[in-house]
Structure 1
Amino acid sequence: MKKVGLLTALLAVGMMSACSSAKKQQTIEEPNYVRTQETEKLLTNLKKSSSKGIMFGHHDDTVYGIGWDGDEGRSDVKSVCGDYPAVISFDLGEIELKGDDSLDKVPFDKIRKEIINQYQRGGMVSLSWHVRNPKTGGDSWDVTDTTVVKSILPGGENHEKFSGWLGKVADFLNSLKVADGVKVPILFRPWHEHTGSWFWWGEKLCTPDEYKTLWRMTVDSLRTHGVDNALYAYSPGSEPKDTAQYLKRYPGDDIIDLIGFDTYQNDRDSYIAGLDKSLAIVDSIGKSHDKVIAITETGYEGIPDAKWWTGTLLPAIEKYPVAYVLVWRNARERVTHFYAPYPGQTSAADFVEFYNNPKTLFAADANLYQ
């Protein structure tokens, strides 16, 4: 009995030693789970930024605008107020197809260059991904099949195909380097507006567990491919009515760095009420989960209200600790589809007042990597 006890003890010690060695080995073999110093600095400064003010953002700001396309150094925002946005977003849609251009017909080489330019200004870049439907071949808005998400999860018929698509995203993120080899940090915001059902990953197109698994598969794949320069944003629409509904498909604190929401104005009163409701939700969750909060997409198409910036947007958001508010693009192919002013636009003068307000931050104010 003593020999049996001794043998059991020795085996137990051996197993503990093996587990300890395995843990050490795992730490050595998983360096990609450690984010770059610059990426950690970005997160630290995002958490502090709301104490300085609210950063202004604009989608595709430096790649096209009203009446121009691809002009070097140009920006409708800069043309109006003299500075670039503190946050610029771009979209990676169709990078999965091995094409040279995004779904908005912007060369990926140009997007890469503008991401680096924004980093060198001290500002931030957010990247969304309007990825094509891997099952039907349609676009992100193709919701004709309700099993697309299930088909790309592990064991699904399109899993291998989609894994290759994630590899292309990883290759792009890993290519974002300045001259000395430092990787540019970005905020990656995939699977957005999932509380609606207009994208193939939307609420009626997959279960909460499938959606959460999609998120984890995405982050795990990027990490496996060496992506260590990304923060991740969870960004539903304005549908959630309370914190429980907002968190229903939340994939977890360990993979999410920033929480926000997308919402656009139609009726002013309902827009203001909706902003307040959604901001109260993310403010509460941000404090309890230690997450940065932001308005990840918003705007008023065509901005017909001459005082919209200081009369509607700023008063609605300034009472919350919002890191940034981002408006959507100024489409060069649809002249009525714009969300930031350009010289001579009805709200341009008010936007200058918005810019001069000490509560708003632009690229010159950001300094996100110091």
Structure 2
Amino acid sequence: MTEQPQTKVLRWGILATGGISTNFTKDLLIDASTRGQDFKHAVVAVGSRSKDRADAFIRELGLDIAKGYGSAVDLFNDPNVDVVYVGTPNSNHYPASKAALLAGKHVLCEKGFTINAKQAEELVRISEEKRLFLMEAMWSRFFPATIAIQEVIAGGKIGTVRRVFADLAQDFKTFDMDDGHRLIAPSLGGGALLDLMPYTLHWALLTLFPHPAEISSIPKIVGQMTISRSVDLHTTAVLSFDELPSAQAVISGSMAAGTVNQVVVQGSEGTLTVSGVMVAPTGYKIKYNDEREETVECSDPNTDNAFGFCFEQDEVGRQIFAGSVESPRNNHQTSIRVMTILDEIKRQGGLILPQEIERV
């Protein structure tokens, strides 16, 4: 009797127990084989500010084999953890990711990836030196709809891209928030720049440059911010790239305006609009210059019960089991470039965050 090969298991440690970590973990519990993967995901450890919070998270989600920890250090020292998901407030992304890498763990870190580009460069240095996988958790890049949109643009269906508009806004009622809320606390890296603008910037980059290797420069940037309570309430930037002298991107984000969640790509032959919300796209619509219209949905029936984090989770597994330190769809240089652009928008907008969270 032939012995069946044992299924590979990627063992996750979850750092932080807030809403995004909850939804992320729920997707990890869905069998990856239903999406055609040859490995499984398993949550084996959870870290929080207290062991009680970690244990409550474990009970709530039914994580039968997971162990709870009351500190990040204890989580990183668990020998059963292969990869750490960092879902903390922005200010802790860099120190937590660095500590996890130094402890020998692969890392998937939420966006904004770091507070600045120098921190991103340091994480990449450690990742490549220690041969550990590292990726910014820009989940939107891995949706089937995003991949299809890039293929349509690269194939010339809307002609040469001329302009990209990406606007992400939501009224978070920031004026009613306590000063310590993560969205508006400067000490936690609050503000639209690090919470909303990474989405709009990634969409600009992935539509203008369907392949990350195609971009080699930092764009010319004109940025503007409205600052309130020491963080940016609204931020807008215009980007133009040397590689694309006839194209321009306008990206914007707001934490205090009516809900807008739209990506529009204008080409020489037509205009493509991303369907659904930009953070979790479902398809696209094209209106051609000759008035023809086309609507394409890219739903996956195997992920109907998922939030959509499963797509990036599977990419993490594929790359780790392949021995890679980065994903070709969201590589290290892309994350450094994103943080470099955000740094310049921050400088032009006059936003000054506490020095202690800017340190490398």
Same fold judged by TM-score > 0.5?
no
Structure with more contact order per residue of length (Cα contacts < 8 Å, sep ≥ 6):
1
Higher helix share: 1
Higher strand share: 2
Largest Rg, 1 or 2: 1
Normalised by the length of structure 1, the TM-score is: 0.30
Normalised by the length of structure 2, the TM-score is: 0.31
